[in-house]
Amino acid sequence: MKILTNNFEETQKIGEEFAQRVKGGETLLLYGDLGAGKTTFLQGFAKGLHLQRRIISPTFIIMRSYAVDAIPNVHMFYHIDLYRTQTEHDREGLGIPEILKDKNAIVAIEWPEKLGSIMPKRAWKLIFTTVEENVRSITIEKV
Ligand code: ADP
Ligand code: MG
């Protein structure tokens, strides 16, 4: 599925709608350059999960977790941004393999190409591309 959005609100809306599909145990891998709209999508996604707290970019702290109350069987939403991590060593200690096994969690990972050997085999793959200043393409596929 490929979608074009013409402003950030439309990207948030796509994220909000995507949240209606989740049942727990899903992983979202968000690919794309800086500014392509990954975090913006997740802000809408968080709204769709009815999170109490607003999503802020976890770039400087790498991982944030949010309690989820509104969806049966989903207890936690993890937002991980690997952009600032340099080495496997940086990524160890985040506990990502354990989080990915949690059937009651939803995990969204920006810059998933940095996962290396712990890349999940089954996930939603979302590819964000800047087309023009305010236009983004979003490709969503299940892998
Ligand atoms: P990323 O997480 O991929 O680095 P962000 O979501 O943090 O990107 O930033 C996207 C930036 O692009 C924001 O400043 C947003 O307002 C802007 N923008 C402009 N048009 C769009 C669009 N169609 N979709 C998403 N973001 C857009
Ligand atoms: Mg981001």
What digits encode the pLDDT tens for the residues 35-56?
A: 999 999 999 999 999 997 777 7
Question: Tokens for 121?
Answer: 């085999």
| Amino acid 59: pLDDT | 66
Output b/e per residue, 13-42; b: 16+ Cβ within 10 A. bbbbebbeebebbbbbbbbbeeebbbbbbb
Where the chain has pLDDT below 70, the residues are: 58-59
Percent of the chain with pLDDT over 90: 80
Q: How far away, in angstroms, is 34 Cα from ligand 2 center?
A: 7
| Number of the ligand 1 atom closest to the C-alpha atom of 11 | 24
Ligand 1, atom 20, lies closest to the CA of 134
The reply to whether ligand 1 has any atom less than 6 angstroms from the CB of 38 is yes
| Amino acid 140: pLDDT | 98
> Within 10 Å of residue 140's Cβ, how many Cβ atoms?
15
The reply to whether ligand 1 has any atom less than 6 angstroms from the CB of 79 is no
Backbone angles phi, psi at 44, to 5 degrees: -70, -40
| Amino acid 91: pLDDT | 83
| Amino acid 37: pLDDT | 98
pTM of the predicted protein model: 0.95
Output b/e per residue, 101-129; b: 16+ Cβ within 10 A. eeeebbbbbbbbebbeeebbeebbebbbb
